[in-house]
Amino acid sequence: MGGRVPSTSNAPRYRPGRHLLQIPGPTNVPDRVLRAIDNPTIDHRGPEFGTLGRETLARLKRVFRTTGPVVIYPASGTGAWEAALVNTLSPGDRVLMCRTGWFATLWKEMAERLGLEPLFVETDWRRGADTAGIGAALAADPQHRIKAVCVVHNETSTGCTSRIDEVRAAIDAAHHPALLLVDTISSLASIDYRHDEWGVDVTVAGSQKGLMLPPGLSFNAISEKALAASAKARLPRSYWDWQAMLKPNAEGYFPFTPSTNLLYGLAAALDMLFEEGLENVFARHDRHAEATRRAVRAWGLEVQCAEPRHYSSSLTAVRLPEGHSADALRALILERFNMSLGNGLGILKDRVFRIGHLGNFGDLELIGTLGGVEMGLAAAGVPHQPGGVQAALAYLSQMP
Ligand SMILES: Cc1ncc(COP(=O)(O)O)c(C=O)c1O
């Protein structure tokens, strides 16, 4: 959309053309979802809401690939992180986490604040979770003091995707009873994910990325084992309590006032995902990610993810040559071309920029995005070769 420019800027007050929101979430909200949200709010205890709630909660399971319950919180993804921990764990419990990047680090800090004892398996922020390291830590815990393994499926700060099937296999190989908690905030509905098949106990998700909604909803998909653990877990909880939520959810209602209009949007987003077909959604994201990496290589730049098996399909983090500022490049691209790119976080601050290619996104939007980056590299004087957009075009035009 064209937009008002902040009043501190010297730029004209109105910018024609659409702003390209190519951060790795929140993503561009499709018009169909916006139109659905733009309906009168209804009585959340009335019959019409009960139908919306029942149908939406049931249809949502398909996206998580689970037959178990999924609960919805009117909260950002951070709330669903907290819900996953406080419903399943007790003060002083050990949790095994993997420092894949910035978001894994934040989840670990939350665990500490809640009175848990996190153990951190390190990575160099250039690959997904170290499954061998997780397996070794579990094997070294014969008394089963570790109660949960927590992994970020798609580390949004690095563009590296962890292999949850391999994490599951490592837990099984160690014959360890720990719960498996997985953050899919930047992967759900854009990268293949299977809650039941991979034996995940709690899946954490958010509305503002693959689900194509504004920020404001978050989710826990819950296994039977996690539900059983919640009956004994002793961390204090009230707002996040699954039991309080699941009872009214059975009839489509909530224990408090739900985000009625965001739920209209969610129903529309689910329609769109199922009309396209989840397999096609994943293939589209894989294809856009490959086209983006081809552009990056043609520019002579480096992708932050150093392990091809862990390449993310929802975003690509691009390293800048030494001595060049990624933040200055992003600022120039925003000012000149009206496009927002993701910033570097934590140890990657100013070292990388992140291209989000997830959500409601087509080939021509990708070409526009890559065109903005290529023009920005030239205008900012970042050493590179031209031809990245051409490489992406060549790939996209040969692939159906
Ligand atoms: C992987 C991941 N986990 C957690 C979060 C935190 O979610 P929120 O900002 O919605 O609270 C984010 C946000 O971008 C994320 O990408």
What's the pLDDT tens digit per position in 344-381?
999 999 999 999 999 999 999 999 999 999 999 999 99
User: In terms of Cα–Cα distance, which of 125, 131, 91 is closest to 111?
Assistant: 91
Instruction: Decide whether any atom of ligand 1 lies within 6 Å of the 314 Cβ.
Output: no
Residue 152 Cα: closest atom of ligand 1: 1
Q: Using one digit for the tens of pLDDT, what is the confidence trace for 123-159?
A: 999 999 999 999 999 999 999 999 999 999 999 999 9
Asked whether the predicted pLDDT for residue 2 surpasses 60, the reply is no
What is the per-residue pLDDT for 16? 87
Percent of the chain with pLDDT over 70: 96
Peptide bond into 26 cis (omega under 30): yes
**Cα(113)–Cα(69) distance, rounded to whole angstroms?**
28
Instruction: Decide whether any atom of ligand 1 lies within 6 Å of the 103 Cβ.
Output: yes
Cite the beta strand spans of the chain per DSSP E. 3-4, 14-15, 20-22, 70-73, 94-99, 117-122, 146-152, 154-155, 160-161, 179-183, 202-206, 218-222, 302-303, 315-319, 339-341, 352-356
What's the chain's average pLDDT? 96
What is the per-residue pLDDT for 124? 97
What is the per-residue pLDDT for 359? 98
**Position 12 confidence tier, pLDDT thresholds 50, 70, 90:** low
Q: Could you identify the residue written with the tokens 């992003």?
A: 330
**Cα(391)–Cα(393) distance, rounded to whole angstroms?**
5
- Which protein residue has the closest C-alpha to ligand 1 atom 16? 156
Asked whether the predicted pLDDT for residue 15 surpasses 90, the reply is no
Residue 153 Cα: closest atom of ligand 1: 1
Region 250-264: mean pLDDT is 98
Cite the beta strand spans of 229-314 per DSSP E. 302-303
398 CA to centre of ligand 1 in angstroms: 35
Burial per residue of 356-377, b for 16 or more beta-carbon CB atoms within 10 angstroms, e otherwise: bbbbbbebebbbbbbbbbbbbb
CB distance 295 to 110 below 8 Å: no
What is the per-residue pLDDT for 1? 47
What is the per-residue pLDDT for 170? 98
**Cα(25)–Cα(127) distance, rounded to whole angstroms?**
20
Instruction: Decide whether any atom of ligand 1 lies within 6 Å of the 186 Cβ.
Output: yes
Q: Going by C-beta distance under 8 Å and a sequence separation of 6 or more, which residues neighbour residue 256?
A: 74, 239
**Cα(374)–Cα(384) distance, rounded to whole angstroms?**
9
Instruction: Decide whether any atom of ligand 1 lies within 6 Å of the 78 Cβ.
Output: yes
Instruction: Decide whether any atom of ligand 1 lies within 6 Å of the 82 Cβ.
Output: no
